[in-house]
Amino acid sequence: MVKSLFDDKVVLITGGTGSFGQAMTRHLLKNHKPRAVRIFSRDEYKQYRLSALFRDERLRFFIGDVRDKDRLRRACDGVDIILNAAALKQVPICEYNPFEAIQTNIIGAMNVVDAAIDSGVSLAMTISSDKAVSPVNLYGATKLCSEKVFIHGNSYSGRKTTRLACVRYGNVVGSRGSVLPLFLNQRKAGKLTVTDVRMSRFWISLDAAVRFVCDSLATMVGGEVFVPRLPSMKVVDLARAVAPDAEIVAVGVRPGEKLHETMVMAEEAVHTIPWEHGYIILPESFNTTVKRPYAGEHMPEGFSYASNTNDWWMTTEEMTNMVNQYEAQGPGHWQE
């Protein structure tokens, strides 16, 4: 049997009671042989529910906040791999609470990097967002900063072997605050609201996000941003798939919202290479001569990867199947 990257390793997941953390924990316990999976989060009730859900002796629970560097360092003692999924991510809430978003998403990322290096962690990966690309809202700006913190954090590791990288992907189907559960709730009244009928988004399932993070961890050398190939979907088409007979009302784009999302902007093309799972954005300044286990010609000048110019679109049948799967599994499987 081929040995897994996670076998006999201690994995720490910050924000571990969220939707990604739960899905990753399930994946690690079911498909790998980690020595321990440490869940680091602020909510003791969610930790209690998670422990009851999995009932696995390899699970460890740490109450803490990524804003608290001392507590984070304690949680990192003896850890081999860190997955940083702790974030404030609701766009309107981040807009009106900028100090809080900065403390968690930027200062928290800095604390994770410091704790990883100080504790001799081998690999650390942060979960970013397509909203980090040319950000127009505070949430996107904080995720851009957290990417930079992780990428250039490699320069601070010195002689230690700690390596840090990022994954950047689109909207997670059915996650807390996302549009799918909103549409399903509005369907009861027969009227669905969309902000603009032109709006498009990238979509990824939780399971696909977990697999992509695992593939990225197995490939990373340090300083990369990994971007998956994902399908696009018009939000209004999703509304029609949820409720074909309902009235659809356009209410206008909200503050800090884009019509379309971009995962690789044109300015990044010159240091982006294709990868079997998507794209790898190489670091511009960190370890530019380091030997990397992958190769590829850089994308052509002017290349960008955006939801409205994507060549892969979800069909109506695929959207309907996605909605049916969400309803069959129940919101508890998807939401944070």
Under DSSP, the state recorded for 53 is H
Three-state secondary structure call for residue 59: strand
Are the C-beta atoms of residues 63 and 103 closer than 8 Å to each other? Answer: no
Closest by Cα among 265, 5, 14, 225 to 116? 14
Asked if 291 is an active-site residue, the reply is: no
Identify the H or E element spanning 113.
helix 108-118
Residue 173 and residue 176: Cα distance in Å, rounded? 9
**Where are the extended beta strands (E) located within 215-322?**
225-228, 232-234, 247-250, 262-264, 272-275, 278-281, 305-306
Q: Which of 131, 143, 234, 258 does the annotation list as catalytic?
A: 131
Residue 149 and residue 9: Cα distance in Å, rounded? 25
Closest by Cα among 169, 213, 170 to 28? 213
Two tokens, residue 204: 């990824």
Residue-wise burial string across 80-110, b where 16 or more C-beta atoms lie within 10 A, e elsewhere: bbbbbbbbbbebeebeeeeeebbbbbbbbbb
Max Cα–Cα distance, the chain, nearest Å: 62
Helix axes 108-118, 69-76, angle to 10 degrees: 40
Torsion on CA atoms 237, 242, 248, 251, rounded to nearest 10: -80
Other Cβ atoms within 10 Å of 180 Cβ, number? 24
Residues annotated as catalytic (active site), given as ranges = 131
